[in-house]
Amino acid sequence: MRTLYIHADYMEYEVKKPTSMAEEIDESKKCGRAEEVLVAFIAVEKQDETKVLQVAEEAASDILETKDKVKAARILLYPYAHLSSHLSDPVTGKNMLAMIERILIDAGVEVTRAPFGWYKAFTISCKGHPLSELSREILGIEEEPDVKTQEKYVVLVPDGGEIAPEDFKGGSECFRAMLEKEALKKESPLSGEPKYLRLCRKFGIQWETMSDIGHMSFSPNGALMFDLIADYSCQIVSDMGLPVYTVKGTNMFSLDEPPVKEHADLFGDRLYIIEGERKSFIMRYAACHQQFAMMRNWNISYRNLPYGAFEVADSYRLEQSGETMLCFRTRRLNMPDLHVMCRDLTSATEWFKNLDNRIFQEAEKLGRDYEMLVNFSSQSAYEQNKTMLLDLMNSHGKPALLHFYPEGINYYWTVNIEYHILDDTKRAREIGTVQIDVGNAERFDITYADESGKKVHPIILHTAIIGTIERYLYTLFDTAVQMETNGLIGRLPVWVTPEQVRVLTVADAHVERARAILSRIESADIRVGLDDRSETVGKKVRDAKQDWVSFVIVVGEKELSSDLLTVYDRAQNKNIESTIDSLIARIKSEISNKPFRPLYMPKELSKRVDF
């Protein structure tokens, strides 16, 4: 709400004609005059629609305080749309003014309220003293919830023992880094540029300077890697042994919708808000809103449970500009978001364990390991889930860092595990997540029919098994950087390497044979390029290595009459001899059943532009 106060000798008004939103009035309301008056010109705004009572009470209190300060005899409330370009709907505007009027009358003040929605003429005589003209913005700030406890951290070991973080001496290097940062609040600043950024540049992944802070763009190689990882996230979900419904949705939801507003209030302070013509929208911070909006209209039976709903969802979080980090902490991210709808806590616990196991498996495939930060919404949530957590810890042979949120807040979740890796800078970085949600089914009115036909709210598991697409890329790059730190040649898994094979020629006379080799490899669904440029063989080989191509084939005189090829194998960092069929079999075994997409640029290097 925006207001303008004028302490006046007098003000008088007269209505002229109604607008389409005019309130009904009798003859006595069509004109008015007040002397020795504080006039409050008021514009009710869009943001006030979800907190009418708070704004009305705050506005009335401020008007009373100003009246007493300037020693006005009475108050005139005057609706004045010109103070704001983000007006509320007419019903809210009328109700707000009437509510303020009632509060002031109940406080024993003489009040006149000019009619809402009419064109009016007015005359005013401002007194002209220093406090006679004042403007206000009324926000209707809600009181902080009554928090009963402060947050706390505890290290839980596999035998069930609990140790204060400052007293715990064990754990991996990653666990120690996570404990230092989260529980002890100790983390030294980064010095120099993180090494993985070199690989972002190599594969054409960068900030988009023509957008908001924290938004990325992907050149062809980066875009190809992004899409392959998105495909892989779908493949993982399909492989979980769970019926899955894949959906597509919009990326913004109206704060006028009570479940959206309630969920947003619990999310925190990183909401990305868009002002529309008539409504305010939040940009979704995960796929939750869309999937829940759909599922509340589904006819679900207990026989359908458990099932999953899935979307690779573009999501938005208003991270602080100084904390954005390419591929890791961004304002626009892409979440392979799976929600598992479970009949009860027993089923939810079983599937929580399944998801945890798969999260660890995906890290192991990259040669990485996770440490667990386990968040609890309350002590009772911990007691309820402690047995399950100990089962997970013993299966992994690891301690866990427990984080207890302050109690007294009605969180929608009970337990959430964040899975951390140790990156090249020796920092613990969260990648995967899984969470038990006990509130949103009721909030969005998602129900299933049990055996008796009774409507029951399911328990919902939220998970991103490989993290966001961007964070999986971050993990790939960090893994490659750590290979180099350990004296190995940096490389990516063959399935996600943009150019898996490159065939290069010694001379123009070898192009036809090179094309034939390329055609045979390409027909096996392997990404292959052709370096047909008029460059030396040495430069072509160096460029292929610089581009991190997995296998490089040189075609010269010998290869014109022989099927035995000399191939540079990046994984071994040496030349090997192989037939075309053997090379194809080798590559297919390495990529196994991983997703395939063709090159996102011309095969011939002579036709490619420099990025």
> Under a CB-based contact definition with an 8 Å cutoff, are residues 5 and 134 in contact?
yes
* CATH number of the 2-137 domain: 3.50.80.10
> Under a CB-based contact definition with an 8 Å cutoff, are residues 465 and 358 in contact?
yes
The sign of the CA dihedral 272, 266, 276, 83 is negative
Q: Does the reported pTM lie above 0.75?
A: yes
Q: What is the DSSP string of 502-555?
A: EEEESSGGGHHHHHHHHHHHHTTT--EEEE-SSS-HHHHHHHHHHTT-SEEEEE
Integer Cα distance of 547 and 610 in angstroms: 13
pLDDT 10s digits, 155-165: 999 999 999 99
Size (the chain), residues: 611
Cα distances from 112 to residues 28, 126, 215, in angstroms, run 12, 17, 51
Q: Rounded to a whole number, what is the distance in angstroms from the first to the last CA of the chain?
A: 50
Residue 609: predicted pLDDT? 94
Above pLDDT 70, what percent of the chain? 98
pLDDT 10s digits, 493-526: 999 999 999 999 999 999 999 999 999 999 999 9
Q: How large is the average pLDDT for residues 122-148?
A: 75
What is the rounded (10 degree) CA torsion for 145, 149, 155, 161?
Answer: -130
Using the predicted structure, report yes or no on whether residue 192 has a pLDDT greater than 90. Answer: no
Using the predicted structure, report yes or no on whether residue 132 has a pLDDT greater than 80. Answer: no
Q: Domain limits of the chain?
A: 2-137, 152-477, 494-607
Point out which residues pair with 205 in neighbouring strands.
218
Residue among 201, 163, 594, 195 nearest 425 (CA)? 195
For residue 37, count CB atoms less than 10 angstroms from its CB and return exposed for 0-12, middle for 13-18, buried for 19 or more: buried
Q: What is the DSSP string of 303-326?
A: GG-SEEEEEEEEEE----GGG-BT
Q: To 5 degrees, how large is the angle CA 485–CA 196–CA 198?
A: 105
- H-helix or E-strand spanning residue 450: none
Copy the structure tokens of residue 42: 């008021």
Residue 136: predicted pLDDT? 82
Q: To 5 degrees, how large is the angle CA 462–CA 468–CA 471?
A: 135
The alpha helices in 20-116, defined as continuous H runs, are 52-70, 90-106
Copy the structure tokens of residue 426: 């020796």
Phi and psi angles of residue 270, each rounded to the nearest 5 degrees, phi first = -110, 30
Integer Cα distance of 53 and 46 in angstroms: 14
- What count of Cα atoms within 13 Å lies in the side-chain half-sphere of residue 391? 11
Helices (H) then strands (E): counts for the chain: 15, 28
Neighbours of 57 (CB within 10 A): 16
Q: Say which residues have a Cβ less than 8 Å from residue 292's Cβ, sequence separation at least 6.
A: 259, 440, 444, 446
Copy the structure tokens of residue 365: 């495939």
* CATH number of the 494-607 domain: 3.40.50.800
Place of tokens 């009570």: 258
pLDDT 10s digits, 241-293: 999 999 999 999 998 888 898 888 877 678 898 888 878 899 999 999 999 99
pLDDT 10s digits, 232-255: 999 999 999 999 999 999 999 998
In the predicted model, what is the mean pLDDT of the chain? 94
Q: Say which residues have a Cβ less than 8 Å from residue 20's Cβ, sequence separation at least 6.
A: 117
> Under a CB-based contact definition with an 8 Å cutoff, are residues 385 and 374 in contact?
no
Instruction: With both helix axes pointing from N to C terminus, report the angle between 288-295 and 258-267 in degrees, rounded to the nearest 10.
Output: 150
> Under a CB-based contact definition with an 8 Å cutoff, are residues 500 and 571 in contact?
no
Integer Cα distance of 436 and 18 in angstroms: 54
Does the domain spanning 152-477 belong to CATH 3.30.930.10? yes
The sign of the CA dihedral 75, 80, 85, 88 is positive
Q: How large is the average pLDDT for residues 310-314?
A: 98
Place of tokens 């064990």: 170
Q: What beta strand segments (E) does 64-164 contain?
A: 74-79, 111-113, 118-126, 133-137, 152-156, 162-163
For residue 513, count CB atoms less than 10 angstroms from its CB and return exposed for 0-12, middle for 13-18, buried for 19 or more: middle
pLDDT 10s digits, 64-105: 999 999 999 999 999 999 898 888 888 888 889 999 999 999
pLDDT 10s digits, 323-368: 899 999 999 999 999 999 999 999 999 999 999 999 999 999 999 9
Residue 52: predicted pLDDT? 85
Neighbours of 509 (CB within 10 A): 12
pLDDT 10s digits, 557-602: 999 989 899 999 999 999 999 999 999 999 999 999 999 999 999 9
Residue 366: predicted pLDDT? 97
Reading phi first (left if > 0) and then psi (alpha if -120 to 50, else beta), residue 426 is in: left
> Under a CB-based contact definition with an 8 Å cutoff, are residues 38 and 73 in contact?
no
Residue among 175, 447, 208, 169 nearest 326 (CA)? 208
